[in-house]
């Protein structure tokens, strides 16, 4: 029994090491080809539109309601504790800018676009379209991966900025309409306490999230098993892994940023 467990653990560990090695080789290939050839500008624009523009509505909707519910909870808590709806703007803005907007936007993009990227690359693999790229003088790194890396790194931080503003505006509507907080008070609460470094704390994290989501999505697509079942399985794994890793990375990057004073 012990022998069986040890063998099983050993096999799983070896598989994990092999996968990490393959993902590292994929990253190396992306770095090498980025400096070796001219970028596929049309593909980068196409992918940026797909990730950015097509995800904008759902991102804004998510952050708008998140801002509203934060204001609602903060208003009630504040009234319960101090008999006054105090510092709603400050709490909404800090929560959104530092944590909720980057994390929620990344989760929305991982679910919406990361899944699509894995499914598309996986389908291309099982229908020999990846092989076709080689026979037509290019390769998947140059034509598929680099444009997607560029598009994710450009659009996810931009989407997060839009999410920041939309969420704060949602919070303003609730604090103003439901708790009768004057607009000047709400905005002053934000401007007085919010600094550029607070904004940067959240903004910097989105680059790491974008890099991680696109790496997981592309890797899962390129290594998916044959057939429709293989593509479906790879897509599910990519989404789940991306979402979990967003949460895990969020803690460690936040801790590192706090340690260097970017609170």
Partner 1 sequence: MIEIKNVTKIYSGRKVLDNASISINDGEIFSVIGPSGCGKSTLLKSIVRLIKPEAGQILVDGRDIVHVDDEFELAKIRKDFGYLFQGGALFDSLTVMENVTFGLKYLTDIPRSEYPRIAREKLALVGLENAENVKPAELSGGMKKRAALARAIAAEPKYIFYDEPTTGLDPITSDMILGLISDMAAKLKITSIIVTHDIKLAFTISNRIAMLDKGNFEISGTPEELRKSSSPAFRKFTEDALSSDVAEKRNGLDLKHKKY
Check if the beta carbon of residue 144 is closer than 8 Å to that of residue 41.
Answer: no
- Which lies closer to partner 1 via its Cβ, residue 23 or residue 116? 116
In the complex with partner 1, which residue's Cβ is closer, 120 or 250?
Answer: 120
The values of phi and psi at residue 182, to 5°, are: -60, 145
Q: Which two tokens stand for residue 235?
A: 């897509």
The CA distance from 240 to 172, in Å, is 33
Burial of 69 by CB count in 10 Å (0-12 exposed, 13-18 middle, 19+ buried)?
middle
Query: CA-to-CA distance for 64 and 68, rounded, in angstroms?
Result: 6
**Which of the ranges 14-22, 88-96, 121-129, 247-255 carries the binding residues for partner 1, by CB under 8 A?**
121-129
User: By CB under 8 A, how many residues form the interface with partner 1?
Assistant: 15
Residue whose C-alpha is closest to residue 106's, from 210, 259, 261: 210
Span of 59-67, 117-125, 209-217, 222-230 interacting with partner 1 by CB under 8 A: 117-125
Measure the CA–CA gap between 63 and 188, rounded to whole angstroms.
Answer: 21
Q: Which of 3, 57, 81, 137 binds partner 1 (CB under 8 A)?
A: 137
Out of 13, 65, 82, 134, name the contact with partner 1 by CB under 8 A. 134
Contacting residue, 54, 131, 225, 226, with partner 1 by CB under 8 A: 131
CB closer to partner 1 out of 40 and 99:
40
Taking the complex as a whole, the smallest distance from the CB of residue 40 to partner 1 amounts, in Å, to 10
Phi-psi region of 214 (alpha: psi -120 to 50; beta: other; left: phi over 0): alpha
Q: How far is the CB of 59 from partner 1 (least distance, A)?
A: 23
Residue 129 found at the interface with partner 1 (CB under 8 A): yes
- Single out the residue of 36, 251, 255, 261 in contact with partner 1 (rule: CB under 8 A): 36
| Residue reference for tokens 């379209």 | 129
Q: Which is nearer to partner 1, 127 or 192 (CB)?
A: 127
Is 143 within 8 Å of 41 (Cβ atoms)?
A: no
Per-residue contact flags (x/-) with partner 1 for residues 82 to 111, judged by CB under 8 A: ------------------------------
| Segment interacting with partner 1 (CB under 8 A) among 2-10, 55-63, 132-140, 215-223 | 132-140
* Contact call for residue 118 and partner 1 (CB under 8 A): no
Tell me if 15 contacts partner 1 by CB under 8 A. no
Among 79, 56, 75, CA closest to 172: 75
Total count of residues recorded for the chain = 263
Q: Is position 135 an interface residue for partner 1 (rule: CB under 8 A)?
A: yes
d(CA 174, CA 189): 15
Distance (Å, whole) CA 37 – CA 199: 35
Binding residues for partner 1, rule: CB under 8 A, are 36, 120, 123-124, 127-129, 131-132, 134-139
């Amino acid at each position: 029994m012990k022998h069986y467990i040890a063998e099983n653990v050993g096999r799983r560990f070896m598989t994990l090491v092999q996968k990490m090695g393959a993902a590292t080789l994929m990253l190396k290939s992306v770095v090498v080809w980025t400096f070796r050839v001219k970028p596929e500008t049309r593909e980068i624009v196409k992918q940026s539109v797909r990730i950015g523009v097509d995800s904008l509505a759902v991102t804004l909707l998510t952050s708008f309601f998140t801002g509203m519910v934060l204001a609602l909870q903060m208003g009630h808590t504040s009234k319960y504790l101090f008999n006054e709806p105090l510092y709603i703007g400050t709490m909404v803005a800090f929560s959104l800018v530092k944590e909720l907007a980057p994390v929620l936007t990344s989760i929305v993009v991982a679910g919406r676009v990361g899944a699509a990227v894995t499914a598309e690359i996986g389908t291309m693999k099982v229908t020999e379209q990846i092989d076709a790229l080689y026979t037509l003088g290019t390769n998947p790194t140059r034509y598929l991966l680099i444009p997607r890396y560029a598009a994710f790194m450009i659009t996810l931080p931009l989407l997060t900025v839009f999410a920041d503003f939309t969420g704060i505006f949602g919070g303003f509507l609730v604090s103003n309409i439901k708790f009768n907080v004057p607009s000047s008070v709400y905005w002053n609460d934000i401007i007085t306490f919010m600094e550029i470094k607070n904004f940067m704390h959240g903004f910097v994290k989105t680059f790491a999230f974008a890099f991680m989501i696109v790496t997981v999505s592309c890797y899962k697509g390129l290594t998916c098993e044959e057939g429709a079942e293989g593509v479906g399985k790879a897509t599910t794994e990519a989404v789940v892994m991306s979402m979990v890793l967003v949460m895990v990375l969020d803690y460690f990057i936040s801790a590192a940023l706090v340690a260097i004073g970017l609170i």
